[in-house]
Structure 1
Amino acid sequence: MIRLRSFLPLLLFPLLVLSCVTEFQPDTVSLTPALVVEGQITDQPGPYTVRLTRTADYSYKAINLLETGATVSIEDDQGNRETLREQAPGGVYQTRVGGIQGVAGRTYKLVIQTKSGIRYESQPEMITAAPPILKLYTEYRNELVPGTSNRKQGWDLYLDTKDPETTGNFYRWEWTHYEAISVCQKKQVGSGGYTGIYCCTECWDITRCYDCITVASDAEINGQAISGQLIMRAPYTSNAPYYVEVEQQSLSRGAYNFWKSVRQLVSNTGGLFDAAPQSVQGNIRCITDPNVTTYGYFGATGVSRMPFYVDRSKGLGIPDLDYPVNVPYPTNPACVACENSLYRTPNKPRWWVY
């Protein structure tokens, strides 16, 4: 999922200096602290994660504070309910392995009570099953970087699917890259490399694009094929296969409108004729006090996934390699545990074959 606190509740745009007369000094922007909610439940096995932060007063740099000590639960329309457990260091709440799982056709909502006793709820949403991904394929590109003699190469990954005959279908596409690593702790030495310590177990780094928001509706193509949907570009950083999992999400109309608004907001460059900064309307409401402002969205989402290995063996020239990592022997400690987080996991990816 995208990191909403990077974009909400407001984006501040760069200062515009128009001439050599007097530099314009804008007033400091002050915001009332507000809860920011990120999360969803899907029809795929959990655990599901909900992140709670609170906006802080700021001028040019947005800083969000962790909302700790809250009671967070997911409920469905059949009386099933699970209370999420807060994860260290705080502000992140997660269902248990084998806990509640979304089911297509059922309706879900998020309930939050902060440690100060303020109660929030999301508007109920029904999960609609996502159509299957029919095909993933790549196209190699080797392009000249504008204004330089350097070339940038990579593999664009595309998706084909088929929209159902029913109207009112909304989509979002996300991807996750897993890369096996052997060094779990490293630090830069000078400007030419790293020194590190090996992982104690198998370990994978996780890469996602948090500001890549790709959404679509079937308003113009109802019941037709969706072909050549660009998902991402695999970089030429190695000759080894590049493992990626692609996720096709079936959104509610409300979630589609929310992510479409976020996409429009974050793509705004701050130019002279850009629209003014604005908050994005979500589906979270404060039950204790309806006048309290809340940001974010809790979605109920149907998901279809497919793995893909990008063949990078035919890349031209030398890959764009990172600085080497030197592991001295012996090290103290002898190895480092592979942390389980948003960015790293000791759990083998579902379709990993190498």
Structure 2
Amino acid sequence: MKEKLLTYTQLILYVFLVISCVTEFQPDPVSVPPSLIIEGEVTDQPGPYMVKLTRTADYSYKSLNLLETGAAVTISDNQGNQETLTELPSGGTYQTRANGIRGVVGRSYKVTIKTKDGKQYESDLEKLSTAPPIQKLYYEYTVEPTGVNLAKRQGWNVYLDTKDPETTGNFYRWTWTHFEPISVCYKREIPGRNVLTGLDCCSPCWDINRCYTCIDISSDVNINGQAISRQFIMRVPFKSTSRYYLEVQQQAISKGAYEFWKSVKGLVNNTGGLFDAAPAAVQGNVHCVNDPTAVAYGFFGATGLSEQYIYVDRSGGQEPADFDPPIEVPQPSACVACENSLYRTPNKPRWWTY
């Protein structure tokens, strides 16, 4: 599993915040019992795969989740193959070896977790299915009719075409990742001026952008065996006239994963009203086997992947673009190392051509 994945931790946090929207009525503080959050999957692409564990803090600590360190994490399949993951130095993230267990279409996978407090968690078995290939990835330039800022109203809608297999019971999820080349790795605002100051990157570097609350899923219940055309992926903003590099992932997920993401999507999109569903509806497929009162959130999946990239040509946009504030870099200056994280990488994207 790569760092592309939409993180369950961020979604669960988002859900808690939405459910707790401030209104004129001020109820007593809600206490969320410490609960384990699991995010991870096995795919039919080479590893390493990662499993991230966090634990919810008390509700009074808003937006804070604690890393679950020191756990024993094992991924196994229904053929008797298994691997115990290694915890990374940053803590809370557990990883397989690069040449370790590999997802195979047709096999089923689960994760087993034993935490430091002696609780043992186990996911349901998930069968890994093949994702149909992306047949076409394309974009269209549009100008939205409302709003006064022309630059903000312009954009390029990205669409995908594929074909559902003749077999029934196929479920899909679509995600995207944008890599933006940057030359400045540290920046801060200059008080009183609409400019930034910063320091150069010591090496080639890319910012990584995703939509963490975008949940695009579908099933073949009404379209079995038919073409899936003009599946909307995302809208490219007009913030530059340079080409926009985008990687799109089409995922073949299980019915259980589809129902999980459907529940999460409903909670993310709700209004936080009195009769909205509670976050407990997104517990997922992981359960504590030796303590039925212990609650776990998240989903461990087995996912088939089909991936493709596209460069969006933005040179045809109507000037001016919605540029970010300029950055002043003092000369000469020290440089800043390009960190390797969920949001930035020194590693060239796989299909990068310039």
TM-score, reference length from structure 2: 0.92
Aligned equivalents of 2:345, 2:102: Cα separation in 1 = 21
Give the C-alpha shift of residue 149 in structure 1: 5.7
Alignment correspondent of 1:5: 9
Distance 1:340 1:15, change over 3 A: closer
Alignment correspondent of 1:288: 290
2:222 maps to 1:220: yes
Aligned residues: 344
Deviates most, 40-49 or 237-246? 40-49
Residues 222-255 of structure 1 show CA distances to partners (whole Å, capped at 9, x for unaligned) of: 0000001000011111111100000000000100
Give the C-alpha shift of residue 199 in structure 1: 1.8
Distance 1:98 1:343, change over 3 A: farther
Aligned equivalents of 2:98, 2:205: Cα separation in 1 = 20
Aligned equivalents of 1:102, 1:89: Cα separation in 2 = 25
Aligned equivalents of 1:47, 1:197: Cα separation in 2 = 33
Aligned equivalents of 1:189, 1:97: Cα separation in 2 = 44
Give the C-alpha shift of residue 271 in structure 1: 4.2
Structure 2 alignment gaps of length 5 or more: none
SS in 2 for 1:238: coil
Residues 121-173 of structure 1 show CA distances to partners (whole Å, capped at 9, x for unaligned) of: 11111100000000011111112444x46551110000000000000000000
Aligned equivalents of 1:308, 1:295: Cα separation in 2 = 34
CA contact (8 A) 2:11 2:213 kept: no
CA contact (8 A) 2:11 2:212 kept: no
Q: 1:59-208, aligned counterparts within 5 Å?
A: 59=60, 61-146=62-147, 148=148, 150=150, 152-190=153-191, 191-208=193-210
Deviates most, 312-321 or 111-120? 111-120
2:22 maps to 1:15: yes
Aligned equivalents of 2:238, 2:97: Cα separation in 1 = 37
Alignment correspondent of 1:255: 257
Give the C-alpha shift of residue 6 in structure 1: 3.4
Aligned equivalents of 2:188, 2:95: Cα separation in 1 = 31
SS in 2 for 1:347: coil
Paired letter, 2:115: T
Paired letter, 1:4: Y
Give the C-alpha shift of residue 289 in structure 1: 1.4
Deviates most, 55-64 or 72-81? 55-64
Paired letter, 1:141: T
CA contact (8 A) 2:267 2:277 kept: no
Paired letter, 1:179: E
Paired letter, 1:124: L
Q: 1:194-343, aligned counterparts within 5 Å?
A: 194-271=196-273, 275-279=276-280, 280-331=282-333, 334-343=334-343
Aligned equivalents of 2:199, 2:349: Cα separation in 1 = 23
Residues 200-239 of structure 1 show CA distances to partners (whole Å, capped at 9, x for unaligned) of: 2221111111100000000000000000100001111111
Give the C-alpha shift of residue 38 in structure 1: 1.0
Aligned equivalents of 1:329, 1:55: Cα separation in 2 = 45
2:44 maps to 1:43: yes
Aligned equivalents of 2:315, 2:295: Cα separation in 1 = 52
Coordinate RMSD, CA, aligned = 1.9
Greater percentage in helix: 2
Distance 1:149 1:128, change over 3 A: closer
CA contact (8 A) 2:189 2:196 kept: yes
Give the C-alpha shift of residue 88 in structure 1: 4.0
SS in 2 for 1:254: helix
SS in 2 for 1:133: coil
Aligned equivalents of 1:326, 1:118: Cα separation in 2 = 53
Paired letter, 2:299: Y
Aligned equivalents of 2:47, 2:342: Cα separation in 1 = 14
TM-score, reference length from structure 1: 0.92
